[in-house]
Structure formats: structure tokens, C-alpha cells
Amino acid sequence: MNNRTTIFLAVGFVVLWNSGFIGAEYGLPYTGPFTLLFWRYLALTFIVFLSLLISNRFRWVGWRVAAPNMLIGVLAHGVWLTCVLLALDNQVPAGIVALVVALQPLVTGALSGPFVGEGTNQYQWIGLALGFLGVFVTVVSRMNFDSLTSVWSYLIPLGSVVAITIANLIQRRMDIKKESSKLPVDLALFYQSFATTLALALPAIFIEKLSTQWAPEFIYTMIWLILAVSLGAYAIMYLLIERIDATRMASLFYLGPPVTMLMAWIAFGDLVKTMDIVGLAMVFIGVVLTQFNVKVYHTVK
């Protein structure tokens, strides 16, 4: 595959992946965060299950294999997206949520040493510290310290960082140890989305009563989130993983904050403040330090 096609796939991935923040914000006026995610993952589970059945690839793999994949799903999909949607529902701008969530690859890289046995050194720790500082100055500049709700709302996305970091460390350990619990992509996605649906069912039913306004705008938004983001972006991601190295693939996630900020400005008129740009620059420098470390020390990905 030529470089032009790879660039096209990379651009498509960045746009589709980060459109999830915008799509979620479009959908929230019609239902609650838990219910939106419940409908999304219920539909996704059904689509993936049907695809596996048609291709005769569905199988029960046993709890020893299913359990870690289901745990990864609950953390990387359920908790990660719930925290994102709760923040958006509390009026945190989509670009700021994306900026906080962008800390995850830095945290995973730094913690891979002590938890997974991969190399970690001063470049990664400095990059992580600088990334956190960039997020800190941005978030603090936007917080209203006279309102506990405002402070709490801006801290919620950190739950996403914690959840998906734990999920990635579990996945990395499975990859490195070459454990039998690693499944083909589509089968793993089924178990992950199925577990996410089950986890979201309780708060969606008992807290939000599955209350949903099935307006055309909400239906279009859900179709986009399910097909374009959950299936399209993930499909492109795995195509890219086959064509570019892990470092270049990871770097695409760092384009999330500026792309999301641009989308949010176009869609909702969200303004980008000076401290947003300062924080974004600090996170970017932190990322550069981390990537430099990978190239120089050949850290295992």
C-alpha cells in the first residue's frame, strides 16, 4: 500500500475517532450519558455478534479467556466513555475533555516499566510530568472555584485516563506474555462490547430509566457513533497498525485535542482560550520527549 493511501487512512482515523466527542455532545440533549452508551453498545454488540455468526467465527472461549477481555472492555469502553460523557454533560468543552484524555498514552508509557516490565526512563517521566502540567494549567484556568460542581466536572475525565490506562496495561501484559487469553480483533470486540453493555444496563435502567427522546437527530447521531466511530474508526486503526509502526500509530492519538477543539468550534462555537493553547503545547512537548525516548532506547511497545 502506498504512502498516499496510508496518509488517507490516518486522516480518516483521526477525523472519525475524534468525531466521537462531538457526536456524544450532540446526543446528550436527548438522553442521559449511561443510556446513550447503553444503546450504542447494545447495537454494536448485536452487529458484531451477527457478523461473527454469518462468518461462522463466533465461539464461547471459556471464562479464563473471556474474563480478562470483558474486564478490558468495561474499563476501556464503559468507564472511559462514561467519564467522557459525564464531563460533557456537565458543560466541560469537548476539546478540554480530549486534552485530558490525551494523557493516557503518556501514563501508559511511563507505567509500562514497573507494571509490565517494559523499559521506562527519565524521558518518559519528564514527558509525563510535562503533559500533566499542561493539562493542569488548562483545566485550572477554566475551573470556577466558587462552584464544586465545576471543579468536579473538570476532574471527571481523569477517570477515563485511569480506566483506559489499566485496560492497556492488562492488554500489554497479555501481548508480552503471549497469553492464550488474547483473541482475534472481532471476537475480542464482541466480548468487550457485550460486557460494556451489561455494565451500563444497571445505571441506564435504574438511574436514568432508559429515558430517551427518539428524535431524528438522536437517531442519526447514534448511527454515526456506532458505524463511523465504533466500527469505522476501529477498522481503520487496525488497518494502520498493519502498515505503520506502533510509535507512529500512537502519535495519531495526540492529534485528538487540536482536532476536537476545531470540530467543537465549528459545531458548537466553543472558543479556544490562550491557556488552552499553552496547555496543548506543553502536552505536545511531553509527547515529543516520550517519542524521542522510544527512538533512542528502542523501548518495547
Interval 17-55: pLDDT, tens: 999 999 999 999 999 999 999 999 999 999 999 999 999
Nearest alpha carbon to residue 284 among 93, 35, 99, 36: 99
The predicted-structure confidence for 170-195, as pLDDT tens digits, reads as follows 877 776 666 666 788 889 999 999 99
Cell representation of residue 273 = 482560550
Q: Which of 59-63, 106-110, 169-173, 195-199 has the lowest mean pLDDT?
A: 106-110
- Assessment of whether the complete model's pTM goes beyond 0.75: yes
Residue with cell 455478534: 49
Structure-block grid coordinates of residue 251? 502519535
Distance CA 161, CA 102 (A): 8
- Give residue 293's pLDDT: 47
Q: Which range is most confident: 24-33, 123-132, 163-172, 290-299?
A: 24-33
Q: How far apart are CA 235 and CA 296, in angstroms?
A: 31
Cα–Cα dist 173/232, whole Å:
27
CB 96 within 8 A of CB 276: yes
Distance, CA of 276 to CA of 262 (rounded, Å): 12
Alpha helices in 75-184 (DSSP H): 80-89, 94-101, 103-116, 122-142, 148-155, 157-177
Other CB atoms within 10 A of residue 268 CB: 14
